[in-house]
Amino acid sequence: MVNNLEYIYTILNEVLPNNVYYAVSVKDNIELPIIVYQELNKRGKTYADDSYLLKELTIQITLITPNKNIQLEKMLENKLKLYDIEFQMISEFYIAENGLYRIYEIKMEESKYEQ
């Protein structure tokens, strides 16, 4: 069984093959564009008999490009839609030394029996 982070990696790697990283810093001399993803939190959502049955994961996906790249943004968003992954675009900002950061957030559920 593939866990949620492996599943997300597989999808993101279809958008930018071999340019998808888990929680990496751009200062690591990585050539742009890249996609960085990371798990922000995992919280119990549904409980029974004082034990969780479901947890909700929040995963952040950051598309980092040298400049605004609408085509790549649409490619990423369309790929997420293709796999029925609901996302929110939560922020976009530019850092002169590093490029344009476009940040997405997704929520996924994980059952107790998937861990």
Q: What is the reported pTM?
A: 0.86
From the list 65, 66, 95, 29, the residue with the least C-alpha distance to 75 is 65
Domain count, the chain: 1
- Is 115 a residue whose pLDDT tops 60? no
Considering the chain, what is the average pLDDT of its residues?
Answer: 90
Q: How many residues does the chain have?
A: 115
pLDDT of amino acid 48: 76
Give the structural domain span for 72.
Answer: 4-114
* 96 pLDDT higher than 90: no
- Higher-confidence residue of 69 and 54: namely 69
Distance CA 29, CA 5 (A): 24
Mean pLDDT confidence for 15-42: 88
User: For the domain that residue 23 is a member of, what is the CATH number?
Assistant: 3.30.2000.30
